[in-house]
Amino acid sequence: MRQILLLILLFVVGQWFVKALRRAQAQERPDAPPQPAAPPRSAGEARRNGGARPRTARPASLSEPMVRCAECGVHAPRSESVTAVGQSFCCNEHARKYTARSAGQDRAAR
Ligand SMILES: [Zn+2]
Ligand 1 centre and the CA of 2: distance in Å?
62
Q: Could you tell me if 88 and 107 are in contact, meaning their C-beta atoms sit under 8 angstroms apart? A: no
64 Cβ contact list (under 8 Å, min separation 6)? 77, 78, 79
pLDDT for the residue 21: 84
Residue type, 50: G
Confidence of residue 3 (pLDDT cuts 50, 70, 90): confident
Confidence of residue 53 (pLDDT cuts 50, 70, 90): low
- Residue 12: count other Cβ atoms within 10 Å of its Cβ: 10
Domain boundaries, the chain: 1-29, 63-110
Ligand 1 centre and the CA of 72: distance in Å?
4
Q: Could you tell me if 44 and 30 are in contact, meaning their C-beta atoms sit under 8 angstroms apart? A: no
pLDDT for the residue 107: 73
More confident of the two residues 41 and 2: 2
Question: Rounded distance, CA 9 to CA 3, Å?
Answer: 10
pLDDT for the residue 9: 83
More confident of the two residues 90 and 36: 90
pLDDT for the residue 6: 86
CB-proximal residues (5 Å) to ion ligand 1: 69, 71-72, 74, 90, 94
pLDDT for the residue 25: 84
Q: How many angstroms separate the first and last alpha carbons of the chain?
A: 74
More confident of the two residues 2 and 91: 91
Ligand 1 centre and the CA of 7: distance in Å?
53
Is the predicted pLDDT of residue 71 greater than 80, yes or no? yes
